[in-house]
Structure 1
Amino acid sequence: MTDTILSLRNVKTQYGKKVIHENVNLDVRRGEIIGIIGGSGSGKTVLLRTILGLNRHTFGKIEIFGKEYHTLSTKEKHKIEQRWGVLFQDGALYSSLTVMENIDVALKEYTKLSTTTRNEIALLKIFLAGLPLDSAELMPSELSGGMRKRASLARALAMDPEILFLDEPTAGLDPITASGFDELLKTLQHALGFTVFLVTHDLDTLYTICDRVAVLAEKRIYAIGTIDELVQNPYPWIQEYFNGPRGRSAKMKPCGEK
């Protein structure tokens, strides 16, 4: 995995006079699952939203698929957007649309496929996300928390993305449901070969599926590596995170157990 799919160089973000990130440097390798962690207020979600162009960075360069997305024309941006999928923390499903209609939004906007073909694709994504096919006609309000996350994952997979951006996908889920989501994501990533950029605070998720972990601290990527490498880092927050009670508990659990 030497091909870089996403690259950040000296990225700075701020709101007014408040600097959130400064000199952020990061390379994400094609085909890996990379976890982004950090303390409260470190700007994990801000970083994800900045990469997606939902926030504007004030300095530095962000390249995805070898192109600086933020400098592209609207038409060129749309081509890039067809190559990624996004799952926000709350799922962000359209409340007035069914699960199938939510998945169809991107297919309808970016393709010229027939309604029948789009519906078949939507059903396939629902199946891949581990949902029963009859959930296609349900509204988001009729879904459990775990089902909403899976429906959001199905929508994120609609365009067969090369990279998935996930913001706290297991937040608010019970341990069994969260474990099931982790295993599903790992299985799909292995089968389909996409890259995953995962913002999380869930230690179990990190141990279960992540190839590398990047630590946001002191407004930058303070450290990056495998968990085995990070646990040797003397930085106090990293030591407390991985070697504290919850970190030791996550490490001791068999792979896949929450």
Structure 2
Amino acid sequence: GYLVQAGGTHLLLDLGIGTLGALQRHLDPFRVDALALSHLHPDHCADVSALYVHLRYHPRPPSGRTPLPVHAPEGAADRFAAAYAPDAAERAVTDLSDVFAFRPHAATTRVGDVVLRTAPVDHPCAAFALRVEHGGRSLVYSGDTGPSTGLVELARGADVLLCEATWPHHADAPPGVHLSGTQAGEHATAAGVGVLLLTHVPPWFDATDLLAEARAAFDGPVEVVVADGRYAVPA
């Protein structure tokens, strides 16, 4: 998960396993203005249930609290109700709308001080890349995707591309799932971005190998993001 801060807006991009705890080291969850989910696989959204509990049952919520906008693929409300309620009886009476306002992804949406743009990408489930714009600067997050012209077009001219690099490059990789370090670099080059940040690197691969792949395919600055890291979008 990633916290984007721009102007007076706090926007979350994905909320996977363990990220609510990490968020609280940086921001009170009640100060989040919106959540945007790239897709509904649990490693990108499992802590939505934990966020629901925090916002719904906190003994001292801020006055005037309204449901948190959640920009997500179709079916998100049912997905999270099922994740929260363990059996059919509880599911029948579970309604998350007092805490979350689910909104299917639109091509362009204003979220506070930022503009959120989306594009479908190539993954086994419905998945979207996300572009955040503010004050002439832009950040694009790939979410999970295989090679994708949609990602390249959305990232065209972006200042920063936060891009998945899940495995080393190999010719027999399954299509439409993830990118290699080489492919992340190729997408950054094709889109003409300023900076490439690699993410979604699993612990069973060496991040330095994926970093070397990306640097061989992209001439600009490249680094691998780390937990609790802070990254500025250059002007």
Could you tell me the TM-score, scaled by structure 2's length? 0.30
Q: Which has the higher helix share?
A: 1
